[in-house]
Amino acid sequence: MQDTTSSPLAPDYGETPGVQYLAPIREVDPDIYEAILAETRRQQTGIELIPSENYVSRAVLSAIGTVFTNKYSEGYAGKRYYGGNENVDIIETLAIERAKQLFGAEHANVQPYSGSPANMAVYYGLLEPGDTVMGLALPDGGHLTHGWKVNFSAHFFNSVQYPVNPETGLLDYDVVWELAREHKPKLIWAGATAYPRVLEFDKFAQIAEDVGAYFAADIAHISGLVATGLHPDPVPYADAVTMTTHKMLRGPRGAMILTKEEHARAIDRAVFPGLQGGPHDHVTAAIAVCLKEASKEEYVEYCNQIVRNAKALAEALIERGFELVSGGTDNHLMLVDLTNKGVPGKVAQKALDRAGITLNANMVPGDKRSAFDPSGIRLGTPAVTTRGFKEDEMRKIAGWLADVIENIEDKATIERVRHEVEEVCEQFPLWY
């Protein structure tokens, strides 16, 4: 997918084809234009290790900026509340059919505005307020919407959170099972925002069946690995499978819900009219485009390279004396506990920002520090893999991470790394 024929680092971004669509913004709103240029430059010249981020193709980016943004289309294809929806029906039906095909699902809803609203629709479609739900605790890698205390999901539902084992960093399915038997949830979530190992969806399904709960899988992070067979597939087992479209799927900011036919009506009604009004049709068009891209052989190779890169990065970090939660990774991300380096996660994040490497501070299982000032960092390979980085670049990145973190006060090291990062980024230009 990478097109390296244009968009080298250029002093005048107005001359690169990818940003010519910005000319009207420059005329109307120079402040926003400048911010877009600065962000383009930031993305061009820095290394992106936040595992939930990626770079969309020109086709996806173009699809977002189309006249579909002008349209209202409450309802579903063939059953809209307003006129003039014949073209919206075409794109939404294509997006749905492509989603079903890619994931082997019986039913797909592509209208949720983002991942959190998609998860909200699962609650609204399948449960009653006050029902008990279970999900992975946020400090152990779960998502806010899986029942964490500051989220609607714990406010409107009785939330029970399961942990990972603080020693191994791994899920203990016996513990999940015990908690499920004790609390009898109506819904069990499997899915994570910071879990570097395989999720055994068949075991979750077995536990849910045993206690009479619905089983929902949130594959926002690992959607591409599931689609390409590199991670176990929850679709055969789960009542609902949710995912964002803007992470590994390399689509626009949005989400999808896959369900079995028996839940199709409940989920569709939960999305509209339950939670949302008009769908974002320009986003739907871009989702359809990203799903087409994800059905190609190149995408399978891309996902394989994500995993190879993550393993290479993990190994190189371990060689430099870093401690990885669970000892490594099976997927696209890893969690590094910086306690042995004596550097808090936030301090590392800020220093690396200055060195042109973006990642996020993250809690690690059993963290003694707070969520605002955690012990670890989280890194992932989807974005750098899109850029064309391979194992050699992963080893370079591990070296830079080590150099900065081990010399956290040293401005010269940060400057040197920043320079080397820019040089490598210049060799792998983005296409914007």
Ligand X SMILES: Cc1ncc(COP(=O)(O)O)c(C=O)c1O
Question: Which residues are near ligand X by CB under 6 A?
Answer: 52, 114-116, 143, 145, 191-193, 218, 220-221, 244
Residue nearer to ligand X on the CB measure, 244 or 413: 244
Distance from C-alpha of 214 to C-alpha of 185, rounded to nearest angstrom: 8
Strand partners, 48: 358
The catalytically annotated residue of 72, 292, 369, 420 is 72
For the question of residue 369 being annotated catalytic, the response is no
Distance from C-alpha of 325 to C-alpha of 314, rounded to nearest angstrom: 10
The catalytically annotated residue of 48, 218, 293, 330 is 218
Q: Any idea of the CA torsion for 99, 250, 287, 125, to the nearest 10 degrees?
A: 60
Residue nearer to ligand X on the CB measure, 77 or 198: 198
Nearest distance from C-beta of residue 145 to ligand X, angstroms: 6
What sections of 104-230 are H helices per DSSP? 115-126, 152-155, 173-183, 201-211, 223-227
For the question of residue 41 being annotated catalytic, the response is no
Position with the least CB separation from ligand X: 115
Nearest distance from C-beta of residue 243 to ligand X, angstroms: 8
The closest alpha carbon to 348, from 356, 338, 340, 334, belongs to 338
Nearest distance from C-beta of residue 117 to ligand X, angstroms: 7
Residue nearer to ligand X on the CB measure, 92 or 218: 218
Strand partners, 242: 218, 257
The catalytically annotated residue of 53, 74, 403, 420 is 74
Residue nearer to ligand X on the CB measure, 116 or 132: 116
What sections of 136-257 are H helices per DSSP? 152-155, 173-183, 201-211, 223-227
For the question of residue 247 being annotated catalytic, the response is yes
Residue nearer to ligand X on the CB measure, 191 or 356: 191
The catalytically annotated residue of 41, 253, 292, 395 is 253
Query: How far from the centroid of its chain's Cα atoms is residue 137's Cα?
Result: 18
Nearest distance from C-beta of residue 158 to ligand X, angstroms: 20
User: What number of other Cβ atoms are within 10 A of residue 5's Cβ?
Assistant: 9
Nearest distance from C-beta of residue 113 to ligand X, angstroms: 8
User: What number of other Cβ atoms are within 10 A of residue 167's Cβ?
Assistant: 8
The catalytically annotated residue of 80, 197, 247, 387 is 247
Nearest distance from C-beta of residue 320 to ligand X, angstroms: 27
Residue holding tokens 């960093």? 169
Residue nearer to ligand X on the CB measure, 44 or 358: 358
The catalytically annotated residue of 145, 193, 242, 244 is 244
For the question of residue 253 being annotated catalytic, the response is yes
For the question of residue 218 being annotated catalytic, the response is yes
Give yes or no for a contact between 252 and 60, defined as CB atoms under 8 angstroms apart: yes
Distance from C-alpha of 215 to C-alpha of 199, rounded to nearest angstrom: 13
- Which residues are catalytically annotated? 72, 74, 218, 244, 247, 253
